[in-house]
Amino acid sequence: MTNKDIREHLLGLQDLGYKEFHCKLIPNVDSSRVIGVRTPMLRRYAKELIKSGNYQEFISELPHEYFDEMNLHGMIICNISDYEEAVCEIDKFLPYVDNWATCDLLSFKKAFKGNLGRLEHDVCRWINSGDTYTMRFGMGVLLEFYLDEAFNPRHLEWVATVESDEYYVRMMQAWYFATAIAKQYEASIPYIEQHRLHEWTHRKAIQKARESFRVSDEVKAYLKSLK
């Protein structure tokens, strides 16, 4: 299947109402680059391509013209189970990611879950890349895989010391710390008590934690006092 065939298929799945809605969520993406394919349909098509094996030419082409093509690409590579192959494809893909929605759909459970030891090196590399969405992705990996049994307090330091004026980097920092407060309270609360985060990120982390159903009312009241 050619890249032209894949694009024509996506255009055939276009939902203009969904496009209008979704464009409001990704204001930094030119609306002319958005086809408007609903996520469940995009995931279904990704599975079809994976099953058929007709996707190698498609994922070898970067960047794609359309936002939806980028998301399809991301969904395909998320199904890679070999760790080294997955990291190789991630490193090819991330430099072309230009929005939070494409970044946040990336979840590599098949490749990462059994390789958390070696993954730390790559996470550190991504977080320190200086690229907005590569940094966001790296912090998202810590949030997804390292706030339970694999937690290490040094990860808090990795995220806290990220320096960026980018909104989407700071928002992920806040999201990470809000989740850390819910899951690793004793280790993470000093970062809030000591105002270790950028002021905006500090306030946003408190807000997100206080909105979480996983945080007790007592902790929420204490967080409010730390604003």
pTM of the complete model: 0.95
- Any idea of the CA torsion for 156, 158, 163, 168, to the nearest 10 degrees? -70
Per-residue pLDDT of the chain (227 residues; tens, 9 = 90+): 788 999 999 999 999 999 999 999 999 999 999 999 999 999 999 999 999 998 999 999 999 999 999 999 999 999 999 999 999 999 999 999 999 999 999 999 999 999 999 999 999 999 999 999 999 999 999 999 999 999 999 999 999 999 999 999 999 999 999 999 999 999 999 999 999 999 999 999 999 999 999 999 999 999 999 98
**For residues 126 and 94, is the Cβ–Cβ distance under 8 A?**
yes
Domain residue spans of the chain: 1-114, 115-226
Give 222-225's long-range contacts (Cβ < 8 A, gap of 24+): 223/181, 223/192
Phi and psi based region of residue 53 (left: phi greater than 0; alpha: psi -120 to 50; beta: remaining): left
Residue type, 99: N
